[in-house]
């Protein structure tokens, strides 16, 4: 019976390790579903999907977590196989049946333990507190969060005298209708560069300002080249219409999902 108990403890340990690994991956910015799948894949050694594996292996903290899960998974699988053999080897048919029934009961109990949402929430909160206290693992992947690998970018635009942006307030520019957000402005004040984060709609753009923008890369490139005058105003209207069409397409796609 010692071998049987050892086998069940190894399986329980594996469940806890995978849960801990998924919480750790989630704390680096991955969604819950992706974190759980990647933790299970690493622990079992079955590999990853191509797109999600790039998100994991390109991140140093996630790569370290995956490496530890792989190492523990390899040891856990070896231990489980060894204890499974010891559970039944050299036993009579009656003893094998008796131990088989106990193994089935134990596996069902572990399955219910692993599937319990209440236990999952409690363990996740507990592990998150432990990792927050004893590690520096909570590092957000801003590239993924901001979609910087999916057509979006953060760029700086220097405002020149002939720029369409110069002399207008953010409210007048209506850049949000083009799908562009102004995150901040670098401006020289009394010879020193000053940063204004999250500028208000009433903030007026001045010549020489360095504007930090977030949005689609093609939209920001077009904005950086836009000049004063009627032509610039027409480009602004076309950019708004282009963004409106893009948003309608996104709504239709969400409707079909």
pLDDT of 85 > 70? The answer is: no
pLDDT tens string 1-40: 666 677 777 788 888 888 888 888 887 777 777 788 888 8
Q: Band of the pLDDT at 99, cuts 50, 70, 90? A: confident
Residue recorded with tokens 């923008």: 213
How many residues are recorded in the chain? 257
Judge if 66 and 9 occupy the same domain.
Answer: yes
Residue 175 and residue 52 share a domain: no
End residue of a domain, out of 144, 178, 206: 144
Q: What is the reported pTM?
A: 0.50
My answer on whether 62 and 106 are in the same domain is yes
How confident is residue 82, by pLDDT bands cut at 50, 70 and 90?
low
155 shares a domain with 116: no
Q: What is the mean pLDDT of residues 70-96?
A: 71
Write the pLDDT tens digit of every residue in 240-252. 999 999 888 888 8
Question: Looking at residue 186, what is its pLDDT?
Answer: 95
Of 144, 173, 205, the last residue of a domain is: 144
Query: In this predicted structure, what is the pLDDT of residue 191?
Result: 85
Identify the domain containing residue 239 by its residue range.
Answer: 150-256
Q: Does one domain contain both 30 and 127? A: yes
Place of tokens 């036993």: 91
Position 25 scores a pLDDT of 80
pLDDT at position 135: 66
Residues 131 and 162 in one domain: no
Find the mean pLDDT for residues 153-169. 94
212 — pLDDT class (breaks 50, 70, 90):
very high
Nearest Cα to Cα of residue 182 among 164, 167, 169: 169
Q: Number of folded domains in the chain? A: 2
Asked if pLDDT for residue 175 goes beyond 70, the answer is yes
Q: Same structural domain for residues 191 and 155?
A: yes
Q: Are residues 69 and 111 in the same domain?
A: yes
230 vs 65, higher pLDDT: 230
Q: Which of 26-30, 178-182, 222-226 is predicted with the least confidence, judged by mean pLDDT?
A: 26-30
Give a three-class secondary structure readout of the chain.
Answer: CHHHHHHHHHHHHHHHHHHHHHHHHHCCCCCHHHHHHHHHHHHHCCCCCHHHHHHHHCCHHHHHHHHHHHHHHHHHHHHHHHHHHHHHCCCCHHHHHHHHHHHHHHHHHHHHHHHCHHHHHHHHHHHHHHHHHHCCCCCCCHHHHCCCCCCEEEEEEECCCCECCCCCEHHHHCHHHHCCEEEEEEEEECCEEEEEECCCCCCECCCCCEEEEEEEHHHHHHHHCCECCHHHHHHHHHHHHHHHHHHHHHHHHHHHC
Same domain, 78 and 158: no
Mean pLDDT of the chain: 81
| CATH number, residue 186 | 3.30.70.1450
Do 139 and 164 have their domain in common? no
Which of 144, 163, 185 is the last residue before a domain boundary?
144
Question: Do residue 79 and residue 7 come from a single domain?
Answer: yes
- 195 or 48, which is more confident? 195
27: how many CB neighbours lie within 10 A of its CB? 20
Residue 254 has pLDDT above 80, yes or no: no
Instruction: State whether 34 and 123 are in the same domain.
Output: yes
Choose the weakest-confidence range: 7-21, 81-95, 138-152: 138-152
């Amino acid at each position: 019976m010692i071998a049987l108990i050892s086998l069940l403890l190894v399986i329980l340990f594996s469940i806890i390790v995978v849960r801990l690994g998924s919480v750790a991956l989630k704390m680096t910015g991955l969604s819950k579903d992706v974190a759980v799948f990647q933790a299970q894949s690493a622990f079992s050694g079955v590999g990853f999907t191509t797109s999600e594996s790039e998100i994991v292996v390109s991140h140093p903290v996630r790569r370290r977590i995956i490496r530890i899960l792989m190492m523990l998974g390899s040891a856990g699988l070896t231990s489980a196989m060894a204890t499974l053999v010891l559970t039944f080897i050299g036993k009579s048919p009656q003893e094998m049946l008796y131990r088989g029934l106990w193994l089935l009961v134990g596996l069902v109990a572990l399955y219910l333990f692993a599937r319990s949402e209440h236990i999952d929430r409690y363990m996740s909160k507990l592990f998150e507190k432990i990792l927050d206290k004893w590690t520096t693992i909570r590092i957000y992947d801003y590239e993924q969060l901001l979609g910087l690998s999916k057509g979006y970018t953060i760029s700086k635009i220097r405002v020149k005298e002939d720029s369409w942006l110069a002399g207008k307030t953010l409210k007048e520019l209506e850049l949000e209708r083009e799908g562009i957000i102004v995150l901040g402005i670098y401006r020289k004040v009394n010879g020193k560069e000053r940063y204004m984060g999250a500028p208000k709609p009433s903030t007026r753009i001045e010549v020489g300002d360095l504007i930090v923008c977030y949005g689609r890369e093609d939209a920001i490139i077009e904005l950086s080249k836009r000049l004063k005058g009627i032509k610039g105003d027409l480009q602004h209207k076309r950019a708004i219409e282009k963004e409106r069409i893009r948003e309608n397409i996104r709504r239709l796609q969400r409707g079909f999902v």
